Amino acid sequence: MNLGDSRFGIEARRPPKPPSTFVRLEHLRQLRGSEQVAAICYRLGKHGIEFLLVRTRGGRWTFPKGSVESGLTHAQAAALEAFEEAGVHGRIEEAPFARYVRVKSGNRRHARDVEIVINAHLCEVSRLARPEEDNREPTWFSADKARKRLKQDRATDYGDDLAQIVDRAVARVQRLYRAEHNRRPRRQAEIIEIDNARVTTVVLKSRKARRTLS
């Protein structure tokens, strides 16, 4: 075998290189915020279940929400969003009861659209303080009005997804209410108590343990 054959044999035994994939840095920055959390804040008012919505920077109504924070659970991050954007004091469930998707368009030409998954956590509000963020205008709405406000000035599909979150939240609150008043045993559930921007995880074992921090 000549030298040329030897080189050919060595090259032939090398594993093929995987095809290279080019990913724009801008797309990686977008993916960094591709998961968010939302606090679905409610109270039991005189006219039934009411939901607390806040204004986006563009003036639309939405749930208090934001990006996942390093070092915090999703529920803790949602609790902080509720406190900072709406001044919420109360308790928020550790596990999300629903998820929905928002498609964010690329800011520049040829930038890819990014699907943002939002984890929705149910939050029972005991009282409100002044929000840390300005121009949020936290406002209570009935379930029906909340659905309408969430659909305003949005794409039909996205507005319908937000309205469905309200429906699922209503169904969950009703189940919890019936379970309490029928004194049915409930499985342990982790919640986050919200008090002056402090969040602590506790395990609910009885109705007595479900007191809200003031």
pLDDT in tens, 187-198: 545 666 776 445
**Bridge partners for 128 per DSSP:** 88
Which pairing describes strands 35-45 and 114-128: parallel, antiparallel, or unpaired? Answer: parallel
pLDDT of residue 178: 85
In whole numbers, what is the pLDDT of the chain averaged over residues? 78
Report pLDDT digits (tens) over 29-84: 444 557 899 999 999 988 899 999 999 999 999 999 999 888 899 999 999 999 99
- For the chain, what percent of residues have pLDDT higher than 70? 66
Count other Cβ atoms within 10 Å, centred on residue 19. Answer: 5
46-62 burial: b if 16+ Cβ within 10 Å, else e: eeebbbbbbbeeeebbb
pLDDT of residue 13: 54
The residue that leads in pLDDT, 14 or 39, is 39
Q: Which stretch of 17-26, 78-87, 111-120, 199-208 has the lowest confidence by average pLDDT?
A: 199-208
What counts of helices (H) and strands (E) characterise the chain?
Answer: 5, 10
Cα–Cα distance list, 44 to 37, 95, 100, 104, 147 (Å): 23, 21, 24, 34, 17
Both tokens of 134, joined, read: 């300005």
Which pairing describes strands 114-128 and 88-93: parallel, antiparallel, or unpaired? Answer: antiparallel
pLDDT of residue 103: 78
pLDDT of residue 16: 57
Report pLDDT digits (tens) over 122-148: 999 999 999 999 999 999 999 999 999
**Bridge partners for 158 per DSSP:** none
Whether 169 has a pLDDT exceeding 60, the answer reads yes
Single pTM value for the model: 0.72
Mean pLDDT calculated for residue range 16-32: 50
Contact 65, 39 (CB under 8 A): yes
Count other Cβ atoms within 10 Å, centred on residue 196. Answer: 8
Sign of CA dihedral 153, 43, 166, 113: positive
Count other Cβ atoms within 10 Å, centred on residue 84. Answer: 16
- CATH topology for the 22-207 domain: Nucleoside Triphosphate Pyrophosphohydrolase (3.90.79)
Whether 209 has a pLDDT exceeding 80, the answer reads no
